[in-house]
A and B are shown apart, each in its own frame.
Chain A
Amino acid sequence: DVKVTQSSRYLVKRTGEKVFLECVQDMDHENMFWYRQDPGLGLRLIYFSYDVKMKEKGDIPEGYSVSREKKERFSLILESASTNQTSMYLCATKTERYGYTFGSGTRLTVV
């Protein structure tokens, strides 16, 4: 089975902190995605990556950046966390054969 692992289930950070959310996949997939999930808004795409060192903005990239130095790892970075970035963050990979596979999510609270 494809496995997508998000390193933290719960995080609490202070306003202004730099925050790293890590996502690791074990199947050598090229496509990786970061979504945030908020009540009433569903899942919204922040950034995605087709390959190492490649990245594309999603629908709500403001306040975020990403890093893909190795194929298996896709990091989401909040340069200066704000309270409106309190959310559930979901990482996913995609292949033609397996479709999309999601991690269990990281619930981030910014205080």
Chain B
Amino acid sequence: GESVGLHLPTLSVQEGDNSIINCAYSNSASDYFIWYKQESGKGPQFIIDIRSNMDKRQGQRVTVLLNKTVKHLSLQIAATQPGDSAVYFCAENRGATNKLIFGTGTLLAVQP
């Protein structure tokens, strides 16, 4: 079936290191991808998005890479900080349906 999934359920990194969180998707018709951060007790918060006509998009300390050939999405966080500790979700938006399909999430734990 169609799905969006994450390779690693838990990622532990040292403060100051770079983090890479990966996501696989199966629906080649998806045209828009989003990364969310969810801190404990809060709803998901938008981090960065990318459309299917792009390969890379950069924000403040974050970069999203999209590889349509292998249907792979990644989120890179530079100089990871304790405040980055959270669960990260990738999501795909199938434009015609106006629905978000989420992956299962990766817990990022930043060690001081």
Residue numbers of A with Cβ under 8 A of B are: 4, 31, 33, 35, 40-45, 48, 50, 58, 90, 92, 94, 99-105
Contact = CB atoms under 8 A, between A and B. Distances in A.
Contacts of A48: 98-99
B95 to A, nearest CB: 11
Contacts of A103: 43
B7 to A, nearest CB: 14
Main secondary structure of the interface of A (DSSP, over half): strand
Nearest to A58: B99
Contact of B43 (A40, A45, A50, A104): A104
Given A42-B102, A42-B104, A102 B49 contact: no
Interface of B: 34, 36, 41-46, 49, 89, 91, 98-105
Contacts of A58: 99
A42 B105 CA distance: 6
Ranked 4 nearest A-B pairs via Cβ: A102-B43, A43-B102, A42-B104, A42-B102
A42 B89 contact: yes
Given A100-B34, A102-B44, A105-B42, A45 B89 contact: no
A83 to B, nearest CB: 22
Nearest to B105: A42
Given A58-B99, A100-B100, A43 B49 contact: no
Nearest to A102: B43
A105 B36 CA distance: 15
Nearest to B98: A31
